[in-house]
Each structure stands twice: as structure tokens, then as C-alpha cells.
Amino acid sequence: MSKQTSPRAIAIAAHPDDIEFSMAGTLIRLRNAGYEIHYLNVANGCCGSTEFDPVETASIRRAEAMQAAVAMGATFHESLCNDLEVFYGEDLLRQLASVIRRVDPSIVLTHSPADYMEDHTNTCRLAVTAVFARGMPNFRVTPVGEPVETSVTIYHAQPYSNFDPLRQPVVPDLFVDVSDLQDDKRRFLACHVSQKQWLDESQGLDSYLQTLRELDTQVGKLSQKFACAEGWRRRLHLGFSGPNDDPLRDALQEDHIEVNSG
């Protein structure tokens, strides 16, 4: 498979603010390492309000997500469906595969294969298959896009809370230090103003900004090296890249990354 001369990375998450919680620090590290970074939420966030109707909520959350993407220096991509309608099906897969062909990334950051809600899990499944189909000329994408042959490595973020749906702990095999990026991550997440009230009401979170710090601190403790970290598991290479390709690890300076050798 060919390699790009201009490396690109895309974060593919389920909802507006998911990237900010578990992927934004790594995106910034990649941007600082010379990567062009891209930002996509599959669902539009339309259910994330107890005050506004779905159309208005989606509009508010789109504006917030665009603001966050601009703050990160990332290219913003439009959402593809409503909340709780992220199903592993043909229409969404063709749309997401079209985005993959346009962006032509060498790194894809996405959700854990098992997470606390199905929108996250299905986003992961869609992302993986969309990347797998990137070079298949007989797979039709919407809108039409030419197949690409770039070698791609997929990295799965930690599930929310660092546990899978059956309450089993999930330990990353790669840690990215985000200790000095906490102010940046809080600034990105603070763009999602509409979500403070919603998360406080629906999930009992006293402060979504504090929750961000707590989650990064938990992963940092797992690393046994960093105060705050984002954790990643690298997907099997078959159909995507060479067996030893690890571009995330290669891109970051040694003092910003730790490999779990256990």
C-alpha cells in the first residue's frame, strides 16, 4: 500500500464533545507533529437537550462542534445522522466511506469496539469498515469518490469510564501524555456550552470539565508515567497497513508517549 507525502489523521466519534473528551489531546499532538487533522461526529447531537427541539438542538451543537474544531486547527466534517440513529447499515457506511476517501488519512482515531452506548460502538464499526473499503472500486460511496490505497492504522480510544459494558476494565496498549494539554482540552470542551446542563441532568455530572480531568487522570495512572493521558489500542493490521506500522507512536516524541509492555 502507498504512503502519503502529507500525513493526515481523522478523529471519528459518535457525538459532538466525544472527540474533546478522549481524542483531542492526541489530535493536537499529531497536529504539532505535522499532521493535517480532521474532525467528524457521525451523529448531530439532536437529543442532547431538555430545553430545545431536535432541529434547534442539532443546529446549536453543530455550531459548538465547528467552534471546537476551529480551536483545534482541525477540518470540520458534517454529521451524517441523528442521535440514536447510528446503525451499522448501508447508507451511513457509504457516506462515511466517502469521507475516508476524500480525507485519505494514514491515522484514524475512533471509539472502542465496546463502549457504554451503542452509538459509540456502531460508530466504531462503521469507521472500521469505511476504512477497509477505501480501496475497493466496486464499493459505491455517497457522494462518489475515487478509491485510495493509503496505508491506514486505526487506533481505538478508551471506552467512557475505562470499563467495557460488562464492567471489565480496559487497559490501553499506548498512552499519549496530555498533562500539559489540559487547559487546551478544557477550552475545546467548553465550546459545547449546551452540554453542561444536559449532562448534569441526564448523567449526574457535577461538571463536564471536571469529568474530563478525572478521566484523563485515570488513564494517566494506568500509564504509570503521566499525570494525565489519553489511551489507545491499535487495531490488527490486516486489510489496513503493514504488520509493524504504528504511525501514532512514530509521530510523537518519546517523552509524549508510553507503550504498555505488560
Contacts of 28 (CB under 8 A, 6+ apart): 72, 181, 184
Question: How much is the pLDDT for 255?
Answer: 85
Q: What is the pTM of this model?
A: 0.95
Encode pLDDT of 26-51 as tens digits. Answer: 999 999 999 999 999 999 999 988 88
| Nearby residues of 196 by Cβ (< 8 Å), 6 or more positions away | 207, 208
CATH number of 8-259: 3.40.50.10320
Q: Where are the domains of the chain?
A: 8-259
Cβ of 231: how many Cβ atoms within 10 Å?
Answer: 29
In the predicted model, is pLDDT for residue 201 greater than 70?
no
Phi, psi of 9 (to 5 degrees): -130, 140
Is the backbone of residue 104 left (phi > 0), alpha (psi -120 to 50) or beta?
A: left
What DSSP line would sit under 191-235, residue for residue?
T-TTHHHHHHHHH--S-HHHHHHHHHHHHHHHHTS-SSEEEEEEP
Express each pLDDT in 221-262 by its tens digit: 999 999 999 999 999 999 999 999 999 999 998 889 999 876
